[in-house]
Structure 1
């Protein structure tokens, strides 16, 4: 989704328009997450960008989308740009901490 959202509407109050935009974004994320994953992928990840326009947008975390929309409402922006691109995500195995492996070795030697 690459979209400029306009807040100005003769029939809809700005507060309701912001709520509608948040709902539209949430629906889009749910729809993308329901799509079948490519082979070997663990989850759907999203590249997100937000700004007053396409030229001035910055990379944001998907969890911060609503915060940025609320900030746009507080700043009384007339429009803003939001880009959400889905990509397959791959989980990385967590490496053990060096201290934890020493504790495991010590506890296994006592048995």
Structure 2
């Protein structure tokens, strides 16, 4: 999803437009997560970019996407750009706790 959301539309409340944009982003993520996983893939991960425009968008962690949108809106912009691209995710093995057990004894 690559989309520019406008927040200054005549006759529309700015806060309602922001809420609708956040809902649209969350709905897209939910729809993409529901798709079947290919063999060898553990989960769907996302590459995200956010900025005032497409040219100024910078990469943000997926967990911070909505908070970065809020930060952009607090700066007073009339629009913001969001890019969310699905990618394959692979779980990493947790480190063993053997080293911490040896330290405890």
Question: What TM-score does the superposition give when structure 1 sets the normalisation length?
Answer: 0.84
- Whole-angstrom distance in 1 between the partners of 2:68 and 2:61: 10
Tell which deviates more after alignment, 94-103 or 16-25: 94-103
Q: What's 1:42 paired with?
A: 42
Aligned length: 104
Tell which deviates more after alignment, 55-64 or 42-51: 55-64
Q: What's 1:52 paired with?
A: 52
Could you say which structure has the higher helix fraction? 1
Shift of residue 98, structure 1, vs aligned partner: 6.0
The 5-angstrom pairing of residues 1-111 of structure 1 reads 1-96=1-96, 99-100=99-100, 102=102
In the alignment, structure 1 segments of 5+ residues that lack a partner are: 107-111
- Whole-angstrom distance in 2 between the partners of 1:9 and 1:55: 22
- Whole-angstrom distance in 2 between the partners of 1:57 and 1:72: 11
Tell which deviates more after alignment, 45-54 or 93-102: 93-102
Q: Give CA deviations for 1:18-62 in whole Å, capped at 9, x if unaligned.
A: 010010001000000000011111110000001111121111111
The structure with the largest alpha-carbon Rg is: 1
Shift of residue 99, structure 1, vs aligned partner: 2.1
Q: Alignment partner of 1:55: what SS?
A: coil
- Whole-angstrom distance in 1 between the partners of 2:11 and 2:88: 39
